[in-house]
Amino acid sequence: MGKPEHLHRVSAVDTHSLRGCALSHQKVIRQAKAEKWPYVLVVEDDALFYKNAKQTYEKVRQTLSDPKQNIKWDIVLGGVHYFAGKRAVYPPALVTISDFSATHFVLYRHTCYDVVLAWHDSHRHIDRYLGKHIRHILVTTPFLSYTSDGYSEIRKRKVNDTGLFQRNQQRLATMMRTNAK
Helices (H) and strands (E) in the chain, counts: 5, 12
* 159, 152 contact by CB (below 8 A): yes
**Domains detected in the chain:** 18-180 (3.90.550)
Residue with the bigger pLDDT between 47 and 159: it is 47
**Residue from 176, 173, 98 nearest 137 by CA:** 98
pLDDT digits (tens, 9 = 90+) for 76-97: 999 999 999 877 888 888 999 9
Give the residue-averaged pLDDT of 118-146: 93
What's the confidence (pLDDT) of residue 156? 74
Residue with the bigger pLDDT between 177 and 115: it is 115
What's the confidence (pLDDT) of residue 161? 81
d(CA 58, CA 53): 9
Residue with the bigger pLDDT between 120 and 181: it is 120
What's the confidence (pLDDT) of residue 155? 66
pLDDT digits (tens, 9 = 90+) for 33-46: 999 999 999 999 88
What's the confidence (pLDDT) of residue 174? 86
Would you say the pTM of this structure is higher than 0.75? yes
d(CA 15, CA 22): 10
Q: Say how many C-beta atoms besides its own lie within 10 A of residue 75's C-beta.
A: 24
- Average pLDDT over the chain, rounded to an integer: 88
